[in-house]
């Protein structure tokens, strides 16, 4: 199994000379199985370049047959879909899997709705490829007999799924966009007439249990890609509730889960290459001081390929 990054940025594309090293495209990951089958995770702006590569290189062997997994439908994770060239070519097959926020929402309308007349010159019903949509919940299913996929609901302002893919003798996990679960009652004033001690206790139990479930979901991963948009200082000062994780928390949780290789991902749009370089050195120095682990940790960047 090979994993290649085509987009690593969160929130909005950030092209320019100060983001060249890590890349300015929003999230898109290509998973290439040993026999050539293709799984894509995320349809951010990075999927455009991936689509062009697939057309000019892979289609020399024949039509494409692809599974696209969406973590959630925030715009930075689906905005590249209308520019994904394979959807315009007859004979190609694309299965789009992902969650919806409300039970009666339609995944096709959300994703393809970007191609309505007001926004895009080509309408969704004019696409030439065979495209099917599959709504996912927290579940385990098989893309193929030998490709097991487990999903996990994460903590984000919309229904958001992590993916655990087991294939080719390896375990690959994505956790984004996500922040640690917390007790929503922890800041309640105990002198307030509405204070409920039981609710505060149960809230703490619930947060702890849900965080343990995410850690278990990551357990033993050969490769984990995890949202790490903020530093701990940034998170505690002003980013709680925004749906993204502090990188220090991600590191220690990954160590606890026995992860072998960790890519910190979904970089903040304000981060320049020099700042990411500095933060990566800080994180790697932390790892060197922890004698109980040999985890390989790095910051994700466009074009990087990891073989499992």
pLDDT digits (tens, 9 = 90+) for 131-180: 999 999 999 999 999 999 999 999 999 999 999 999 999 999 999 899 99
**Residue 88 has which token pair?**
């315009």
Domain at 2-307, CATH class: alpha beta
> What are the domain boundaries of the chain?
2-307
Tally of residues, the chain: 308
Q: Which residues 6+ apart lie within 8 Å of 74 measured at CB? A: 158, 177
pLDDT at 11: 94
Residue 234 pLDDT greater than 60, yes or no: yes
Question: Cα-flanking dihedrals φ and ψ of residue 285, to 5°?
Answer: -65, -35
Give the Cα separation of 30 and 88 in Å (integer): 19
The per-residue pLDDT of the chain, averaged, comes to: 93
Q: Which residue has the higher pLDDT, 109 or 30?
A: 30
Per residue in 196-205, pLDDT tens? 666 666 667 8
Residues above pLDDT 90, as percent of the chain? 83
pTM above 0.85, yes or no: yes
Burial 186-205 (b: 16+ CB within 10 A, else e): eebeeeeeeeeeeebeebee
- Distance between CA 272 and CA 191 in Å, rounded? 45
For range 78-98, the mean pLDDT: 97
> What pLDDT score was predicted for residue 187?
59
Confidence of residue 194 (pLDDT cuts 50, 70, 90): low
């Amino acid at each position: 199994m090979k994993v290649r990054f085509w987009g690593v940025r969160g929130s909005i594309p950030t092209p320019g000379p100060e983001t060249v090293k890590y890349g300015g495209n929003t999230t898109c990951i290509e998973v290439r199985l040993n026999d050539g089958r293709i799984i894509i995770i995320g349809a951010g702006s990075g999927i455009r370049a991936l689509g062009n590569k697939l057309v000019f290189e892979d289609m020399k062997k024949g039509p494409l047959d692809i599974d696209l997994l969406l973590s959630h439908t925030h715009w930075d994770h689906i905005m590249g879909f209308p520019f994904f060239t394979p959807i315009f070519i007859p004979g190609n097959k694309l299965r789009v899997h992902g969650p919806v926020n409300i039970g009666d929402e339609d995944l096709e309308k959300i994703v393809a709705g970007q191609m309505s007349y007001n926004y895009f010159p080509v309408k969704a019903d004019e696409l030439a490829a065979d495209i099917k949509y599959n709504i996912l919940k927290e579940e385990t299913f098989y893309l193929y007999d030998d490709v097991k996929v487990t999903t996990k609901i994460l903590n984000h302002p919309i229904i958001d799924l992590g993916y655990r893919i087991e294939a080719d003798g390896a375990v690959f996990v994505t956790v984004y966009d996500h922040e640690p679960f917390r007790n929503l009652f922890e800041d309640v004033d105990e002198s307030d007439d509405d204070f409920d001690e039981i609710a505060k206790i149960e809230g703490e139990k619930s947060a702890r249990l849900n965080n343990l479930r995410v850690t278990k979901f990551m357990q033993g991963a050969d490769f984990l890609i995890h949202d790490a948009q903020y530093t701990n200082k940034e998170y505690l000062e002003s980013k709680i509730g925004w749906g993204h994780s502090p990188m220090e928390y991600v590191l220690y949780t990954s160590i606890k889960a026995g992860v072998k290789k960790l890519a910190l991902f979904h970089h903040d749009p304000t981060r320049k290459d020099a700042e990411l370089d500095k933060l990566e050195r800080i994180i790697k120095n932390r790892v060197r001081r922890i004698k109980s682990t040999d985890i390989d940790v790095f910051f994700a960047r466009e074009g990087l390929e990891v073989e499992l």
